[in-house]
Amino acid sequence: MTGARVAARGWGWRYATRHAWAARGLDLDIAPGERILLSGLSGSGKSTLLHALAGVLGGDDEGEQEGSLAVDGIDPRNVRGRAGLVLQDPDTQAIMHRVGDDVAFGCENLGIPREETWRRVSSALALVGLEVSLDRSTSALSGGQKQRLALAGALAMQPGLLLLDEPTANLDPAGVIEVRDAVARVVEATGATLIVVEHRADVWRDVIDREVRLGPTASTTTADFGGTRSAGPETSGSAAEMPYASAPLLEARGLTVARVRGRVVAGPIDLAVMPGEVLGITGANGSGKSTLGRTLAGLLPPAGGAVVASDELRGGAKADPIRWTSAQLLTRIGTVLQSPDHQLLAKTVRDEIEVGPRALQLSEGEIGRRTDDLLERLRLDHLAAAHPHTLSGGEKRRLTVGAMLATRPRVCVLDEPTFGQDPQTWREMVAIMSALAADGIAIVAITHDLGLLHALGAREFRMGVSG
């Protein structure tokens, strides 16, 4: 196996539903075996370029292409098995029901002999540190485990071009190092060309050769790894210092949680969610962070114990949020899931933000005011008419936050709120969350981003690994 050569000349792509180009005027040369960090602001076209190199952007009915893009001198749409792509959202790549079958899927489509396929499956799973049975259900994996599964599936095909779209975004610190080191071993052993999109450049400093930064109209290459996100004075300080009443809005009492009935992943847990406070839920992948978040939000029933809302929060509704109607949840507890695509319902960005307010039957004037304000605050106003599924991962994340905020809930449960954000939009997300807490909103942030918790002065609740 040899590394692939990548070349672009004046390349650009515009989605069929968009007026603006997702990427344009790109000139790029990547030598076989070279390791590239692809950076740029959210929405600058990084994911679009990876999809194009993988040959999955689609035909003329899905968009318009200009200039040329080639892998080993051939249009990527005509190169089969040369590129392995790991997407931002691992759920979109879990195809089969069992772990082993999922990793084997790509190899089987390439016609690789059965014995060799399963040798590669075992090797790829070991490389990414996913130590689970081959018969394990893919739906039972945590978000971070699914991300390692997607990486294993790409590695098993032994591609000459490995394309990684924020492969460590949903991993705990130990998992980040495992995946980075696994990728380093793979490219060192195989000579594969590597292009990785990642806002945390420092993670990949010792792996890559150079950085290519995408701008509005062209790419710029640089060896400088500056610009990684940090919490400056404008985002420091503690939202928990705000003088709100000491009574919690929401409490977990002896709570045990389960993703599926009968399979407890964490507990018992005693926890209070306070008004005006940011509560950070941290822990290793698979420790039950997202499951706890969904249970607190009234989306999963407790496996044991109880979630109890205060009289102030429930406002006449039942004590346990799992027994609330969807309309009651809208104004009381808002949730942003780990995978943005699971929450996108409408045909345009504006319509997406209006879903909740319309369900509450607010006036057209009030719906318009809330929507315009959120579009501007989240830097999505220029995308108001775009289809949500054509947005970048970072833009989708901001959109789901906006859709949640449109109904003005008293408690906000955010699963990986800074996923896919560049340094600028990361700071803007911190500012939004800080302002919410200052208004007395209770925020539960499920995250591996300890910088976020530091910037917000959050109280940390660390989950242990379930036995």
The residue segments making up the domain with residue 195 are 6-222
Asked if 237 and 366 sit in the same domain, the reply is: yes
DSSP letters spanning 125-144: HHHHT----TTSBGGGS-HH
Q: Are residues 31 and 133 in the same domain?
A: yes
The 10s digit of each residue's pLDDT in 95-147 is 899 999 999 998 998 889 999 999 999 988 887 778 899 999 998 887 678 87
- What is the chain's mean pLDDT, rounded? 83
Q: Are 276 and 239 contacting, i.e. CB atoms less than 8 angstroms apart?
A: yes
Q: How far apart are CA 405 and CA 410, in angstroms?
A: 10
**Within this chain, do residues 30 and 129 fall inside the same structural domain, yes or no?**
yes
Left if phi > 0, otherwise alpha if psi is -120 to 50, otherwise beta: which for 67?
Answer: left
Residue 467 inside a domain? The answer is no
3-class SS of residue 336:
strand
* 227, part of any domain: no
Whether residue 308 is predicted with pLDDT greater than 90 in this model: the reply is yes
At 206 the pLDDT is 86
| Domain assignment present for 80 | yes
Q: State which of 161, 195, 222 marks the end of a domain.
A: 222
314 with 218, same domain: the answer is no
449 pLDDT band (50/70/90 cuts)?
confident
Residues 167 and 300 in one domain: no
| H or E segment to which residue 366 belongs | helix 364-377
Tell me: do 52 and 106 sit in the same domain: yes
**Among residues of the chain, what percentage have pLDDT more than 70?**
90
What phi, psi does 207 have (nearest 5°)? Answer: -105, -40
Rounded CA Rg of the chain:
22
Query: Is residue 106 one of the residues assigned to a domain?
Result: yes
Last residue of some domain: 222, 253, 285?
222
Please indicate, yes or no, if residue 129 is contained in any of the structural domains: yes
Stretch 37-66: mean pLDDT: 83
Looking at the fold, whether 176 and 251 belong to one and the same domain comes out as no
The residue among 85, 155, 47 whose CA lies nearest residue 420 is 47
Q: Which one is predicted more confidently, 72 or 260?
A: 72
Same domain, 194 and 237: no
CA 406, CA 330: separation in Å to the nearest integer? 9
Q: How far apart are the first and last CA of the chain?
A: 41
User: Residues 72, 63: contact at Cβ < 8 Å?
Assistant: no
356: domain CATH number is: 3.40.50.300
Give the pLDDT mean for 281-306: 89
Query: pLDDT-derived band of residue 218, with 50, 70 and 90 as boundaries?
Result: very low
User: Of 203, 222, 241, which one is at a domain's C-terminal end?
Assistant: 222
Q: Is the pLDDT of residue 240 over 80?
A: no
Q: pLDDT tens, 395-436? A: 888 899 999 999 999 999 999 888 777 777 788 888 888 888
Residue 228 resides in a domain: no
1 located within any domain: no
Interacting residues of 208 by C-beta distance below 8 A, sequence separation 6+: 35, 36, 37, 194, 196
Count of the separate structural domains present in the chain: 2
